[in-house]
A = this chain, B = another copy of it.
Amino acid sequence: MLKFIDGGVCAAQGFRAAGVHAGVKTHAEWKKDVALIVSDVDCAAAAVFTKNVVKAAPIHVDLRHLADGKARAVIANSGNANACAPQGEENAERMCAAAAGTLGCKPEDVLVSSTGVIGQRINVEAIEAAVPALCAALERSAKASDAAGHAIMTTDTTKKEVAVETTVGGRTVRMGGVAKGSGMIHPNMGTMLCFLTTDCAISPEMIRTALLETVNVSFNRISVDGDTSTNDTCLVLANGLAGNETIAARGPDYDAFLEALRALCTELARKMASDGEGARHLITCTVRGAGSEQSAETIAKSVVSSTLTKAAIFGADANWGRVLCAMGYSGEEFDPDKVSVRFASAAGEIQVCADGRGLDFDEDLAKKILTEHDVEINIAMGEGEASCTCWGCDITYDYIKINGDYRT
């Protein structure tokens, strides 16, 4: 039975975490800015990275370190993206070497991630100096996961942490994750970092397969501002300490693992969308009755990515014309005259469009529905049987404020 539990990245057996202040950004003296997540034993490891042509240095390093499908630890910092920066790969390697030196493993068994400002040399000396304290702080506790989660936050207003428990091959298996992502979250990996840990025994090949399948239906279905970043990384470490028979192929065990991983990542994705920079609303758009799941996904993504729809939700304005408009420029073919649209939230549900035409509706009720934090846009296409849900957020004055002067 799948259930949500506490503990974040420390929920699974054999994982410890820590987060400390190293001083990557000199003028944020209170903020934890370096995180470390370590397994007691070697892990099968896999990662998905940004599709941006401009990739940050840590990604190039991780690609090399993941060549053998194994890892022991992840070191990550906020405050500097180490992208388009002088000595980028050299400094990313130094971060791995520093962690490996204190942990007693090979530098190639350490993965590295960075997030923050692009184009400035990372203060790797500050990170190296902080590694002993970081390793000393390692422990397996909810508090330690919390510290790691906070250390990777940038403009995030809340820490994102989830853990689940399930049964795989008769054994209790746990998995958990911490993530950051607030601006630049978009389908195909916007600036987000996500570190997942599990004690499931699974081969490097199957963990890679599971991660890809899961990212496509979770993180790739959220959008904050349509920008995708240089640093996006979602990685998973599986140390096998749950004692289940190693998953080495598809089958019931893989399915059980995948179900849990999907639940974990979908919840993390929703938390990211909900904490979009400056956001006041989580927008959940579900497209039903589409000709294919791919078509439903493209249309739902187009709606949650539409700046005009986002602005309308910010204003609690039931401007469904913008929903139809965003559907129409998604690139998918469909018959507008079959479309119906409903807005829903904890305050109720209201149909605003049927057969592609506006309905008279109660504007006061619509306003009430759209004033809730979590709002749904439910679309029926009348084309087929497929459906898909994507998540986004509204665009607000605070988004502009946050991004109008990000570097200072």
Q: B-contacting residues of A (Cβ < 8 Å)?
A: 51-55, 81, 83-86, 117-120, 183-184, 225-230, 305-308, 311-312, 314-315, 317, 319-322, 324-330, 332-334, 336, 353, 356-358, 395-397, 399-408
Contact = CB atoms under 8 A, between A and B. Distances in A.
Contact of A184 (B308, B397, B400): B308
Which are the 3 A-B pairs with shortest beta-carbon distances? A118-B321, A315-B404, A54-B328
A26 to B, nearest CB: 16
Contacts of A334: 53
A324 B118 contact: yes
Given A227-B329, A329-B228, A317 B53 contact: no
A332 B408 contact: no
A62 B142 CA distance: 65
B225 A308 contact: yes
Contacts of A84: 321, 324, 336, 353, 356-358
10 contacts: A51-B329, A53-B328, A53-B336, A84-B321, A225-B308, A226-B306, A229-B325, A311-B402, A311-B404, A315-B404
Stoichiometry, copies per complex: 2
A380 to B, nearest CB: 15
B118 A322 contact: yes
A357 B86 contact: yes
B306 A227 contact: yes
Contacts of A306: 226-227
Nearest to A401: B397
Given A328-B53, A334-B53, A358 B400 contact: no
Nearest to A324: B54
A173 B403 CA distance: 48
Between A53, A81, A325, A396, the greatest number of chain B beta carbons within 10 A of the residue's beta carbon is seen for A325
B227 A54 contact: no
B229 A119 contact: no
Between A51, A183, A404, the greatest number of chain B beta carbons within 10 A of the residue's beta carbon is seen for A404
Given A308-B403, A311-B400, 7 more contacts: A53-B327, A54-B325, A84-B336, A183-B308, A227-B307, A227-B326, A311-B399
Contacts of A226: 226, 305-307
A86 to B, nearest CB: 6
A324 to B, nearest CB: 5
A233 to B, nearest CB: 15
A53 B403 contact: no
A216 B260 CA distance: 48
Contact of A317 (B330, B356, B405): B405
Contacts of A81: 321
